[in-house]
Homo-oligomer: A and B are copies of this chain.
Amino acid sequence: MLNTKFASCIQACSNCALVCETCASECLREDDVKMMARCIELDRDCANICAMAAILMSRGSEYAKELCALCAKVCRDCGEECSKHQTDHCQECATACMKCAEECERMAA
């Protein structure tokens, strides 16, 4: 259905974008929001950059590869931060980020 050449990377980016949106919202509902501030900050950037990477790949854009390189970087940073927190949403977000980082690194190579 989607641009088949990049299907698994598009899927990983699209999923990671929404998992980051969910994680940021759930972090804001935690008792200790202060502790989650860095996580929310990274979730916001990661969500937007992943979403745009999925869009550019779906279009077959000539700029997709370069954005995927940046996306991999944000995903690594966000996944690392999320992995420090024990809440379910952070753990799930860490997993989605690491998966997406790997896919984007392959795309950008």
Residue numbers of A with Cβ under 8 A of B are 1-3, 10, 14-15, 17-19, 21-22, 24-25, 28-29, 31-34, 36-37, 40-41, 44-45, 47-49, 51-52, 54-56, 58-63, 66-67, 70, 73-74, 92, 96
Contact = CB atoms under 8 A, between A and B. Distances in A.
A59 B34 contact: no
Chain A: interface secondary structure? helix
Contact of A45 (B17, B32, B63): B63
B34 A61 contact: no
Contacts of A17: 55
A1 B25 contact: no
Nearest to A19: B1
Contact of A18 (B14, B28, B63, B73): B14
Nearest to A25: B59
A80 B80 CA distance: 36
B48 A55 contact: yes
A3 to B, nearest CB: 5
